[in-house]
């Protein structure tokens, strides 16, 4: 149900600006533009309107998360009003439908739709532009280096009332914020402390896909058995993470993607590892059972958009280990070993018990069991595993 707080009170007419967008995430540039428009256009308020399902763009965060972030960003900002009218509507979000709904809620209001200069190119293609033009005027934000004369010519559309402002947005983008989050960097300066904390606490933007999208991709890439093993590893890593000082969202993502290359043909694995992982030696390249770890690191970065070095390293190290293992490395290494779907074998329950209290002791126990097994087959343990021990 749409928040009726946006309804005009007592039939009173208001000058209402509308700033729409995916807000994926909302950032300081959005907020400052809305505040500047509020003053420059003599508006009574600006509705900050996150889109529900934009027809030509994929959102990286869910509807509710984007609305929550808009509410946090607008909190304490006089005249900025979060609007959930598109979030609560099923199907694709079109401006003409949104304005009709707003007109029903606020029949006396005078609307001004605030757009960036880059949106002028697509404005003639907006669905129902003739109807839109009857319900609202447009205010265009400027941008560095733009050709205003050319923009005004673009905006010369029959029946469309367009005003150009001198409001210039900050050099910030949502894509910039997402990239920094994925790389493990702080984004408080870009989005504000409250939004940054929301992103962190909800594990948003760690890669290019939401978890449901990741699971759909994994279902297509893995065997049924491997898929359910993956879920077990992710659940185990998430459950154990916080007691060992590892971010639970990053641990879960590493668990979900640790075997993302497992079903790839050996020749393809060998090729991408040879081309992209310089610390791989011939012993690892010749061993199909362990090569999916470095291959998985490549695939996680290339196909899923993972940029966090700790996540990528944990994926790369989950079969052989390595020197100076981190808590994240140890967590994925052990979770792969002990997840609930593993068939029983001697020593498994001991490792599971150790994992509850000391992830590094559990890691060493896993490595010893692995080296014992390899030795029993007349093979040599890999130097990376020996370095771990």
DSSP 151-210: HHHHT--TT--EEEEEEE--S--HHHHHHHHHTT---HHHH-HHHHHHHHHHTTTSSSS-
CB–CB of 38/139 below 8 Å? no
At residue 7, φ and ψ (nearest 5 deg) are -65, 140
User: DSSP secondary structure string, 266-306?
Assistant: HHHHHHHHHHH-TT--HHHHT-HHHHHHHHHHHHHHHHH--
Q: Is the pLDDT of residue 1 over 90?
A: no
CA distance 82 to 98: 14
pLDDT at 91: 83
- How does pLDDT run across 273-302, given as a tens digit for each residue? 999 999 999 999 999 999 999 999 999 999
Sheet hosting strand 110-116, strand order edge to edge: 80-82, 45-50, 15-21, 110-116, 136-142, 162-168
The model's pLDDT over 40-92, given as tens digits with 9 standing for 90+, comes to 999 999 999 999 888 778 889 999 999 999 999 999 999 999 999 999 988 88
Which of 337, 259, 274, 267 is closest to 304 using CA atoms? 259
Q: Which of 277, 311, 275 is nearest to 294 (CA)?
A: 277
The whole-number pLDDT of residue 144 equals 67
Q: Which of 63, 16, 22, 24 is nearest to 42 (CA)?
A: 16
Quick: pLDDT tens for 186-216: 999 999 999 999 999 999 999 999 999 999 9
pLDDT in tens, 141-194: 887 667 777 777 767 788 889 888 888 878 899 999 999 999 999 999 999 999
- The C-alpha torsion from 275 through 279 and 284 to 289, rounded to 10°, is -80
| Res 4: pLDDT | 46
Predicted local distance difference test score (pLDDT) of residue 159: 86
Beta bridge partners of 111: 16, 136
Q: What is the average pLDDT across 121-143?
A: 89
Closest CA to 65 of 200, 184, 179: 200
- pLDDT tens, residue by residue, 218-270: 999 999 999 999 999 999 999 999 999 999 999 999 999 999 999 999 999 99
pLDDT per position as a tens digit, 4-42: 466 655 556 899 999 999 999 999 999 999 999 999 999
Closest CA to 157 of 170, 172, 138, 177: 138
Q: Where are the beta strands (DSSP E) in 78-147?
A: 80-82, 110-116, 136-142
- Going along the chain from its start, the domains and CATH numbers come out as 13-202 (3.40.50.620), 211-388 (1.10.3210.10)
> What percent of the chain lies above the pLDDT cut of 90?
79
pLDDT tens digits for 308-366?
999 999 999 999 999 999 999 999 999 999 999 999 999 999 999 999 999 999 999 99
pLDDT at residue number 12: 65
Cis omega (within 30 of 0) on the bond before 311?
no
> What local confidence, expressed as pLDDT, does residue 53 receive?
85
**Contacting residues for 86 by C-beta, under 8 A, at least 6 apart:** 20, 49, 50, 51, 52, 93, 98
Separation CA 267–CA 330 (nearest Å) = 28
User: What whole-number distance in Å separates Cα of residue 291 and Cα of residue 273?
Assistant: 8
């Amino acid at each position: 149900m749409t928040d009726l707080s946006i309804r005009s009170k007592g039939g009173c007419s208001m000058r209402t600006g509308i700033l729409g967008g995916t807000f994926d995430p909302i950032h300081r540039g959005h907020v400052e533009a809305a505040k500047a428009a509020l003053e420059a256009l003599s508006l009574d308020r600006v509705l900050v309107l996150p889109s529900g399902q934009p027809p030509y763009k994929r959102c990286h965060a869910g509807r509710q998360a984007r609305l929550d972030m808009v509410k946090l960003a607008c909190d304490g900002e006089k005249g900025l009003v979060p609007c959930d009218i598109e979030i609560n509507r099923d199907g694709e979000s079109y401006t003409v439908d949104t304005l009709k709904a707003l007109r029903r809620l606020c029949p006396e209001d005078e609307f001004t739709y605030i757009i960036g200069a880059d949106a002028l190119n697509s404005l003639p293609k907006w669905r129902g532009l003739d109807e839109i033009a009857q319900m609202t005027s447009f205010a265009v934000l400027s941008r560095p280096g733009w050709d205003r004369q050319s923009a005004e010519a673009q905006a010369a559309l029959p029946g469309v009332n367009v005003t150009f402002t001198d409001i210039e947005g900050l050099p910030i983008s949502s894509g910039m914020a997402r990239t920094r989050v994925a790389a493990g960097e702080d984004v408080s300066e870009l989005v504000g402390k409250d939004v940054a904390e929301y992103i962190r606490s909800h594990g948003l933007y760690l890669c290019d896909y939401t978890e449901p999208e990741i699971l759909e991709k994994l279902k297509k890439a893995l065997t049924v058995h491997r898929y359910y093993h993956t879920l077990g590893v992710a659940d185990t890593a998430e459950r154990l993470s916080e007691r060992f000082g590892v971010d639970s969202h990053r641990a879960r993502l590493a668990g979900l993607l640790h075997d993302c290359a497992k079903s790839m043909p050996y020749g393809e694995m060998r090729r991408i590892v040879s081309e992209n992982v310089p610390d791989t030696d011939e012993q690892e390249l010749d061993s199909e059972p362990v090569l999916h770890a470095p291959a998985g690191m490549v695939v996680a970065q290339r196909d899923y958009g993972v940029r966090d070095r700790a996540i990528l390293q944990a994926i790369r190290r989950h079969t052989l280990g390595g020197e100076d293992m981190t808590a994240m490395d140890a967590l994925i290494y052990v979770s792969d070993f002990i997840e609930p779907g593993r068939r029983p074998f001697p020593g498994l329950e001991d490792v599971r018990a150790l994992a509850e209290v000391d992830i590094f002791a559990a890691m060493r126990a896993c490595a010893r069991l692995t080296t014992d097994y390899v030795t029993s087959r007349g093979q040599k343990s890999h130097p990376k595993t020996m370095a771990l021990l």
